[in-house]
Structure 1
Amino acid sequence: MRHSLPLAPQFYVTAPQPCPYLPGRMERKLFTALQGDAADKLNNSLSKQGFRRSQNVLYRPSCSDCSACLSARISIKDFRPSRSQKRTIKRNATLRRHATSAWATEDQYELFRTYLDARHADGGMADMDVFDFAAMVEETPIRSRVIEYTDHETRKLKAVCLTDVLDDGLSMVYSFYSPHVPAQSLGTYMVLDHVEIAREAGLPYVYLGYWVPGSAKMGYKSAFSGLELYRHGAWEKFRKPDSYSADTHPMSTDPIAEQVANISLPDLRS
């Protein structure tokens, strides 16, 4: 199935497949190619409308009878670290941040495999080999960086995040870390450090991907103050987690053609 707008990118819909977040559900994605000279402009625009990047594709959940997935971002001006998050920062005082171009390395892949085997052995990425990993990191038509976190004392790579630089913030495309030091809360630490990077750069947001009510995998995102969710075509301040539910009836999502028609696109001709 294909849907398009005049003078606009082509939009497609994936076939339904099992949802990775909520058992018993089926997921479907609306997506478009990200390519050409206007890739940055398109990525900036659609990221503000709940889309995410995966290599040279922009996608957004578009399930036929569920609208649980909500794009989440942290407003830098409204963020205040909790006591627990302050302790996480202190526990990782020996880590050193290093930002590089979007280039994959053997050390990154070794850490990536260790992370997947320990945390997501049955996930959709479990079969990724070194070439798949390199493609995930390097196939980007926009401004992307690899943020590495290395222990200053042991010189070992502890965490990595593939990060896109948007015109209004940082988008944490994919992150992974050593699963052998759970007390360090490395996943939380990377989010906190990206908040600091955005603050230093004068960028107003850090985009976290999707928050899904009822999904334990995504629960950690609700712990960050200043959180905003993209719902019904607009960003709103996050309320309490129990204020949201996973809509599951056929009327919870608009028809695909209507969704595409409501997407606001930048002028891609220039």
Structure 2
Amino acid sequence: MNADSLSVRLAADRARVDACLARLFEARQAPAPRLDAAMRHGLLVGGKRLRPVLVYLAGRALGAADEALDAPAAAVELIHAYSLVHDDLPAMDDDDLRRGQPTVHRAYDEATAILAGDALQCLAFEVLADAGHPRLPAQVRVLAEAAGRDGMVGGQALDLAAVGGHPDVEALASVHAHKTGALIRAAVRLGALTAVAASDPRVAALDRYAAAIGLAFQIHDDVLDVAGDTGTLGKASGADAARHKPTYPSLLGLEGARARAVELVEEAVATLATLGDAAAPLAELARYMIERDH
């Protein structure tokens, strides 16, 4: 798959999951319209949709139909959106801009943003439950672990504790593996489990792929925070340095961080060998993750 083909595929998958997400609000009456508006703002305004795309690509590589992948793809993006709404809060990263728009607590208010994040998180599990996949318990466990204390929440706690500190590369990798990598791994695993049982050896190969691209993705985000600009990123550049947060560029230098991201992507691509040509889109997506400009 060449770059043009990948771009077309990404656009199609983004459109597909966006339609699924929009239907969640069209299908019901809102008892609290302001809350619904805040949820829409945090979920439907922009976004790369990389995590749901990973659900689709991993699932297709193992033979799953798109219709079966819609629910886990939507669920993982709902969890991601909730995490961003909460991460942007004054008590956390205190950001004013997300995806080129005011953050939810700026567009509405802090209390509404907290409630919107809570509701998005709950909606993720409602979507999975409604789909009723035969491996639903395993899907729920994967998503819950990735979102909770062993995943994003734990990673956010580690991230906050690291501000102003001087961790080594291994400690920083642990922060990233929890805060960012856990949900990326969950996305790939959800796609895989939609197609086959967890005992299938290809699931383990995809998990190794996901662990590598999860760290590469966050390293590249660290690089963009230094080398990118606010207009392209859709959020404030230089924010990590301003908060005295440790990053890969601060530990390895900009070129060292870029080199480490490339190494990880090559490791990720190598793990896909047993999946054959069906995994070609996953390999292209891995490379895209460290070539993107936002």
TM-score range for the pair, normalised by the shorter chain length? under 0.3
Q: Larger helix proportion, structure 1 or 2?
A: 2
Q: Larger strand proportion, structure 1 or 2?
A: 1
